[in-house]
């Protein structure tokens, strides 16, 4: 039921899924509904029923109350075929804080079947054994902040689709509608071990719109990349960007940034309540309404407020681009004021100044290892930022890229940040630091029950490195996504190449993953 629970509108009415309208909402225009992911045994039947009902008036009284579709562009991703294999003899960083020397990982049916010391792991019958002696194995790398697809290569006006910089509040846009799956950047990222990534819109806007969480699997459609069951995220931004872009219409100051946020939350809360009232009235009408009494009329849909209401009900996670400590503190108060939660501060250059507070609040800080100085709010970074966030009890540090080059080596950025933390006496080793690009972003994005660590039952998103991934010389050698081998550095036939790079001059010596 994960998906249903996560994507359930404003959360108030989960029972609504028994109605036809809800079924319609669930299946909408999806050509396939993965029974596994929808969690419904009768998924196929429901899909058929929903499609039959597709043309029907949503507001027909006997269909139950109107409910805005929760997942109108559902994931059509299905894992590619995989074999049962045992990767054995490697040094394994599980992402849970454990390191296993001479370990083994068993991948079966696209899932992690077992992880442990090579001597202890039971090898299933018929499993192929892959000698991983001298290799290192980690969970697939996750980038919580990417613009692959919405600022793709080649970078032209025609492809610049990441920033709807026309209004300070564009909560209504969904960045999945901007993502170009033929961005060569995806192929470069898989060569860097990236198996999951979150594409964000913005940051010219206070509310930039919805994020898209993708599996890094080439596809003809974005739906074919969407991470099944992943909750939506929303991008927000503090500080300089939004106040610089709309100088004429406002906001032009940080105080106006906040007045605009707050006004939008007030509107969103009213909107959310109008729907909740409507559903309550509808239930009352169904229960006690007179024979000739018209059904209550549903409120008008508003895409902008719908997304914000989804945040208020806890279904959509807030990714808050925010550099300065003082602004982050105000944002946390604002979240309390309106009853929502900030999942992650992105670009949190000054997280170390309030690392204790962030940890208490259970908010993650996604940071670069060493970028700084491109503007005043990015002036105060320290190399130990991630380590200082990590060092707090319950601290949640994430290394993010925000870059089509950086995403290819999040392991290296993590290594630098780890090393600098160790230098000031913070006890961090690779087994801890690997979580900054695996388990922690998975947690922040709400997909940690499915990926982010090497634990039995999770998706077999696995990277085999040719050596310690915290070395500058390390390369991802093999990348498995849901157990399928989708990148093998030693096998050119397992190096994906996007359409854009096909048939270009010099194509015989360049292009594709691994370049």
Partner 1 sequence: MKHILSGAVFLIVGGFGIAAVSAQEAETPETETAAQEAEATAATTEAAAASATANEPASEEATDAADDTADAAPAAADEAAPAQTAAAAPVSASGSVAIMNGTVHTISGAAIENGDVIIRDGRIAAVGANLEAPLGAEVIDATGKIVTPGLFAPISSIGLQELGLDREANDAGPRTGFPLGAALDAQDAFDPSTTLIAINRTGGITRGLSAPEAGDTLFGGRAAVIDFSGEASSITKPRAAQTAEMGYAGARRAGDTRMGAWAVLREYLDETAAYAANPTGYLTRAREDRFAIADLKALAPVVRGTQPLLVSVNSAPDIRNLIRLKNAYRLNVIIVGGSEAWTVADELAAANIPVILDPLFNLPAQFEDIAATQAAAGRLHEAGVDIAFYNPQGFGAHNLRALPQLAGNAVAYGLDYDAALEALTLTPAEMFGLSSQLGSIEIGKIADIVIWDGDPLELTTRPEAVFINGEAQSLENRQTKLRDRYRDLTRGDLPHAYRGGQ
Of 262-270, 439-447, 477-485, 497-505: span binding partner 1 (CB under 8 A): 497-505
Interface with partner 1: number of residues (CB under 8 A):
73
Return the number of the residue (21 or 144) whose C-beta is nearest partner 1: 144
Q: Which of residues 19-78 bind partner 1 (CB under 8 A)?
A: none
In 183-302, which ranges are continuous DSSP H helix?
184-191, 240-245, 254-288
3-state secondary structure of 115: strand
Q: What is the residue-wise DSSP string for 423-481?
A: HTT----HHHHGGGGTHHHHHHHT-TTTSSS--TTSB--EEEESS-TTSTT--EEEEEE
Q: Which of residues 318-377 bind partner 1 (CB under 8 A)?
A: 321, 347, 352-356, 368, 370-376
Is 21 within 8 Å of 67 (Cβ atoms)? yes
* Contact residue for partner 1 among 5, 83, 361, 501 (CB under 8 A): 501
Whole-angstrom distance, CA of residue 446 vs CA of residue 452:
10
* Contact residue for partner 1 among 29, 81, 379, 427 (CB under 8 A): 379
Token pair belonging to 359: 């940890």
Cα→Cα distances 330→29, 72, 96, 136, 159, Å: 40, 34, 32, 42, 35
Return the number of the residue (6 or 135) whose C-beta is nearest partner 1: 135
**Residue 506 C-beta: closest distance to partner 1, Å:** 5
DSSP 8-class letter at 79: P
Whole-angstrom distance, CA of residue 274 vs CA of residue 333:
25
The pattern of x and - marking residues 286 through 325 that bind partner 1 according to CB under 8 A reads: -----------------------------------x----
* Contact residue for partner 1 among 50, 90, 137, 388 (CB under 8 A): 388
Q: Which of residues 157-186 bind partner 1 (CB under 8 A)?
A: 160, 162-163, 184-185
Nearest residue to 30 via CA among 61, 63, 7: 7
Tokens 């269909």 correspond to what residue? 63
Return the number of the residue (16 or 149) whose C-beta is nearest partner 1: 149
Could you tell me how many helices (H) and strands (E) the chain has, helices first?
14, 16
What is the maximum alpha-carbon separation in the chain?
Answer: 77
Q: Which of residues 119-148 bind partner 1 (CB under 8 A)?
A: 147
**Residue 180 C-beta: closest distance to partner 1, Å:** 13
**Residue 366 C-beta: closest distance to partner 1, Å:** 12
**Residue 357 C-beta: closest distance to partner 1, Å:** 8
Strand 136-139, strand 233-237: pairing: unpaired
Q: Count Cα atoms within 13 angstroms, Cβ side, for 401.
A: 25
* Contact residue for partner 1 among 475, 484, 489, 494 (CB under 8 A): 475
Whole-angstrom distance, CA of residue 262 vs CA of residue 339:
12
Return the number of the residue (78 or 380) whose C-beta is nearest partner 1: 380
Q: Give every CB contact of residue 500 below 8 A, 6+ residues apart in sequence.
A: 153, 154, 182, 183, 184
Return the number of the residue (184 or 485) whose C-beta is nearest partner 1: 184
Q: Which of residues 92-121 bind partner 1 (CB under 8 A)?
A: none
* Contact residue for partner 1 among 99, 177, 273, 422 (CB under 8 A): 422
Whole-angstrom distance, CA of residue 249 vs CA of residue 407:
35
**Residue 201 C-beta: closest distance to partner 1, Å:** 8
**Residue 7 C-beta: closest distance to partner 1, Å:** 26
Is 343 within 8 Å of 364 (Cβ atoms)? yes
**Residue 132 C-beta: closest distance to partner 1, Å:** 19
Of 26-34, 127-135, 300-308, 421-429: span binding partner 1 (CB under 8 A): 421-429
Q: Is 515 in the site for partner 1 (CB under 8 A)?
A: yes
**Residue 249 C-beta: closest distance to partner 1, Å:** 17
Return the number of the residue (286 or 380) whose C-beta is nearest partner 1: 380
Nearest residue to 169 via CA among 242, 73, 87: 242
Q: Which of residues 183-222 bind partner 1 (CB under 8 A)?
A: 184-185, 188, 200, 202-204
Q: Which of residues 397-416 bind partner 1 (CB under 8 A)?
A: 402-406, 408-409, 412, 415-416
């Amino acid at each position: 039921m994960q998906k249903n629970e996560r994507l359930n509108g404003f959360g108030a009415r989960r029972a609504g899924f028994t109605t036809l309208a809800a079924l319609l909402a669930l299946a909408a225009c999806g050509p396939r509904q993965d029974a596994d992911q929808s969690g419904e045994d009768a998924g196929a039947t429901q899909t058929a029923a929903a499609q039959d009902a597709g043309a029907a008036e949503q507001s027909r009284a006997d269909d139950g109350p109107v409910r805005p579709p929760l997942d109108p562009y559902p994931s059509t991703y299905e894992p590619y075929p995989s074999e049962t294999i045992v990767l054995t003899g490697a040094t394994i960083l599980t992402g849970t804080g454990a390191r296993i020397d001479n370990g083994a990982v068993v991948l079966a049916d696209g899932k992690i079947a077992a992880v442990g010391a090579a001597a202890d792991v039971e090898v299933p019958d018929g499993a192929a054994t892959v000698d991983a002696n001298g290799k290192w194995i980690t969970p697939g790398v996750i980038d919580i902040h990417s613009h692959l697809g919405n600022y793709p290569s080649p970078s032209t006006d025609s492809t610049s689709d990441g920033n709807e910089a026309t209004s300070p509040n564009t909560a209504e846009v969904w960045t999945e509608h901007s993502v170009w799956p033929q961005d060569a950047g995806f192929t470069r990222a898989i060569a860097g071990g990236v198996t999951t990534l979150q594409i964000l819109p913005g940051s010219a806007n206070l509310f930039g719109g919805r994020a898209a969480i993708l599996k890094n699997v080439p596809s003809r459609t974005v739906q074919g990349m969407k991470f099944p069951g992943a909750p939506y995220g929303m991008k927000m931004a503090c500080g300089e960007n939004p106040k610089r872009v709309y100088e004429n219409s406002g906001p032009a100051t940080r105080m106006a940034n906040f007045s605009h946020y707050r006004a939008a939350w007030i509107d969103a809360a009213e909107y959310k309540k109008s729907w909740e009232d409507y559903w309550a009235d509808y239930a009352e009408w169904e229960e006690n309404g007179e024979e000739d009494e018209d059904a209550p009329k549903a409120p008008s849909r508003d895409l902008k407020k719908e997304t914000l209401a989804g945040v208020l009900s806890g279904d959509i996670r807030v990714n808050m681009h925010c550099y300065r400590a003082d602004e982050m503190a105000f944002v946390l108060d604002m979240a309390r004021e309106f009853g929502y939660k900030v999942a992650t501060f992105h670009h949190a250059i000054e997280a170390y100044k309030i690392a204790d507070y962030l940890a208490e609040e259970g908010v993650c800080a996604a940071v670069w290892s060493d970028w700084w100085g491109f503007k005043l709010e990015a002036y105060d970074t320290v190399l130990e930022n991630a380590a200082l966030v990590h060092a707090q009890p319950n601290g949640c540090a994430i290394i993010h890229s925000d870059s089509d080059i950086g995403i290819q080596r999040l392991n290296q950025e993590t290594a630098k940040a780890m090393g600098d933390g160790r230098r000031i006496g913070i006890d961090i080793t690779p087994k801890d630091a690997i979580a900054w690009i695996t388990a922690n972003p998975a947690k922040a994005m709400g997909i940690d029950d499915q990926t982010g660590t090497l634990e039995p039952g999770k998706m077999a998103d696995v990277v085999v490195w040719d050596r310690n991934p915290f070395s500058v010389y390390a390369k991802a050698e093999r990348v498995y996504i849901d157990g399928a081998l989708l990148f093998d550095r030693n096998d050119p036939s397992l190096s994906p190449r996007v359409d854009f790079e096909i048939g270009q001059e010099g194509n015989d010596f360049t292009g594709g993953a691994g370049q």
